[in-house]
Amino acid sequence: MFETIRYDVNNGIATIRLHRPDKLNAFISQMNREVTKAVKTASSDNEVRCIVITGEGRAFCSGQDLAEVDENMDHGQVLRDHYGPMVKQIHHCEKPIVAAVNGVAAGAGFSLALACDFRLMSERASFINAFIHVGLIPDSGNLYYLTQLVGRAKATELAILGEKVSGADAVEMGLANKLIEADKWEQDVEAFAARLAALPTKAIGLIKRSLNAASDLSFEDYLEQEAQGQRAAGLTADHREGVTAFMEKREPAYTGQ
Amino acid sequence: MQFEFIEAAVKEKIGVIELNRPRQLNSLNRKMVSEILEAMQQFDTDDEVRIIVLSGKGRAFSAGADIDEMMEDDPVALELMNQFADWDALSLIKKPIIGAVQGFVFGGGFELALCCDLVIAARGTEFSFPEVNLGVMPGAGGTQRLTKLVGRAKALEWLWSGDRISSESALESGVINRIVEPEVLIEETMRLAGRLAKQPPLAIRLIKDSVNKAVDYSLYEGMQYERKNFYLLFASQDQKEGMNAFVEKRKPEFRGK
């Protein structure tokens, strides 16, 4: 089904593994399409309650494969046709998405990580907003997310100086959620994803919608959106389970419904 | 009321019509349009109904007209069949029509939505006039009603490109009244319908009649027309009740007489 990525679903966790290790998982248009399709598949699969995006080999993703770039390339059209649809699919996904950043995430690889809800950093991982080094601007939603995550000052610095950010620094500046030791990488990522997969999935989707609304709507419109979201959450089986478990003084067993 | 392609029922003074071909994404065939009209006309003269709600079952409001049905048509057959007479009659319905739309609102489905007085859309709903991609154009009022709503420039852009229009753009351009969370589309629509059902029906009716004239008449003629409707309401019991209740500082009890 896929050639540039591996996709599997285990215990409610869909793993999308970028799989061009000899190219440091650089993007070619086929990989854009396959990531888009995989996220779409996971979004509509009721079994899936958490999505993990990671890279095979020593890199997470080194950005656009420069072998695909020639002087006739219309960079804007590439974004409209390939990267835009991919980050939109991620942006509108109602399940939690974790970027398990196993190695370097550069350029559009950094943007991909930014589009996810959580970023877990391996000790070996780093971010580089490399676009400036080839005379381009950060793309695929990069600055949209970056300004929200770290504010304008830091976003400006990362975009214009294009310096490498270590995993520890990324966590420190609020760019990533967690730094994980190399020898605990696989198990800690899995534990984190499993924890997300056990949560009330529908509520997570509604929280993500509210987070998007918070930056898009006026305060009054936001409050109305929030009321509708809470109404939807209040109708879920997981809400009833949460309340029942609390009354019965036991751990809730959420189904994601 | 028994129909083949729609369902119609009265719920607490609200006449609810649901398009019921979900597997065909509620694509509109001629019988379906005449059933919609028939249901609306019955509601229009039913004293138990104050507001009409039009919605579509399944994931789309309506993905457009049934193309198979018209592929072999020739101009003379179309003229003699006069199928759009049903659409003309829809615009003569006197009671308020609220459209509740989700998913796709394309082609004939978009034209049907434009026949509604108010439209509430689920977040994520997409609108479009794709007729141009089939070498034709809208035939049930699309070019006319859209232009009156959004102006010439936007109408031409949408009708020529056939592009999908987001619900946010539709809201901004005045095509729809509000966007709600998909889970509460029907609930929110019924809440609005319920509120309007408590308003004095004759005033609601003559307001619709007058506002519609504003679209077609010159300002002078429209003002004259408005005045006559304003005077007419002073012949109603509801006007006496409304004004007495206001003076007596109590809630009015409107009867629609």
A225 at interface of B, judged by CB pairs closer than 8 A: yes
Please tell me whether residues B175 and B222 are part of one structural domain.
Answer: no
**How do residues B157-193 score in pLDDT, each as one tens digit?**
999 999 999 999 999 999 999 999 999 999 999 999 9
Cβ separation A228–B181 shorter than 8 A: yes
Q: Residue B184 and residue A209: Cβ atoms within 8 Å?
A: no
Q: How far apart are alpha carbons B165 and A212 in whole angstroms?
A: 19
Are A158 and A113 in contact by the 8 Å Cβ rule? The answer is: no
Q: Is residue B56 part of a domain?
A: yes
Confidence label for A176 from pLDDT (cuts 50, 70 and 90): very high
Kindly give, in sequence order, each residue whose CB lies less than 8 Å from that of residue B236, ignoring residues fewer than 6 positions away. B200, B202, B203, B257
Please state the ipTM of this predicted complex.
Answer: 0.85
Position B67 scores a pLDDT of 87
Is B253 part of any domain? no
For residues A216-223, average pLDDT: 94
Whether residues B181 and B242 share a domain: the answer is no
Return the percentage of chain A with pLDDT > 90, whole number.
96
Based on the domain organization, do B147 and B219 belong to the same domain? no
Over 80: is that where the pLDDT of B139 sits? yes
User: Does the pLDDT at position A155 exceed 80?
Assistant: yes
Q: Is B181 in the A-facing interface, judged by CB distances under 8 Å?
A: yes
pLDDT at A180: 98
Q: Are strands B97-101 and B51-56 parallel, antiparallel or unpaired?
A: parallel
Q: Which residues of chain A does B184 touch, with a Cβ-Cβ cutoff of 8 Å?
A: 228, 231-232
Share of chain A above pLDDT 70, in %: 100
Residue B183 sits in the same domain as residue B207: no
Please answer yes or no on whether A225 and B181 come within 8 Å at the CB atom.
yes
Report CA-CA distances (Å) from A31 to A24, A159, B164, B236.
Answer: 13, 24, 25, 69
Residues of B noted as catalytic: 111, 131
Distance from CA of A92 to the nearest CA of B (A): 9
Interaxial angle between packed helices A237-247 and A201-216, expressed in degrees from 0 to 180 and rounded to the nearest 10: 110
Same domain (yes/no): B153, B128: yes
In DSSP notation, B25-64 reads: TTPBPHHHHHHHHHHHHHHHT-TT-SEEEEEESSS-SB--
Same domain? B42 vs B153:
yes
What is the predicted pLDDT for the residue at A3? Answer: 97
Segment A79-102, tens digit of pLDDT: 999 999 999 999 999 999 999 999
Instruction: Answer whether residue B254 is part of any domain.
Output: no
- Does B224 reside within a domain? yes
CB contact under 8 A, B181 and A235: no
What is A201-247's CATH number? Answer: 1.10.12
Per-residue pLDDT tens for B195-211? 999 999 999 999 999 99
B163 — contact with chain A (CB < 8 Å)?
A: no
**Which residues, 6+ apart, have CB-to-CB distance to A165 below 8 Å?**
A126, A127, A128, A158, A173, A175
Scanning B187-206 for CB atoms below 8 A from A yields 187-188
Give the mean pLDDT of chain B: 96
Residue-number span of the structural domain to which B209 is assigned: 201-247
Sorted by where each begins, the domain ranges of chain A are 5-197, 201-247
Which chain A residues have a beta carbon less than 8 Å from that of B123? Answer: 209
What is d(CA B1, CA B48) in angstroms, rounded to the nearest whole number? Answer: 14
Tell me the pTM. Answer: 0.90
Per-residue tokens: B45: 């003269």
Q: Are B80 and B207 contained in the same domain?
A: no
> Which alpha helices (H) appear in chain B, and where do they start and end?
30-44, 67-70, 75-81, 84-90, 108-114, 142-150, 152-161, 167-172, 185-197, 201-216, 219-233, 237-247
Residue B75 belongs to a domain = yes
Instruction: Output Rg (C-alpha) for chain B, integer angstroms.
Output: 19
Report strand pairing: A13-18 vs A50-55.
parallel
A24-77: pLDDT as tens digits: 999 999 999 999 999 999 999 999 999 999 999 999 999 999 988 888 899 999
Q: What is the pLDDT of residue A31?
A: 98
Q: Are residues B149 and B227 located together in one domain of the fold? A: no
Fold equal for A5-197 and A201-247? no
Tell me what pLDDT residue B69 has: 86
- The predicted pLDDT at position B131 comes to 95
Does residue A118 register a pLDDT over 80?
yes
Supply the CATH number for residue B107's domain: 3.90.226.10
pLDDT tens column, B10-25: 999 999 999 999 999 9
**Residue B70's pLDDT band (boundaries 50, 70, 90)?**
confident
- Looking at the structure, tell me whether residues B133 and B224 fall in a common domain: no
- What was the pLDDT predicted at B68? 85
In angstroms, how far is CA B198 from the centroid of its own chain?
Answer: 20
Interface of B with A in 52-111 (CB under 8 A): none
Tell me which chain B residue has its CA closest to the CA of residue A226.
B181
Class of domain A5-197: alpha beta
Residue B172 touches partner A, C-beta closer than 8 Å: no
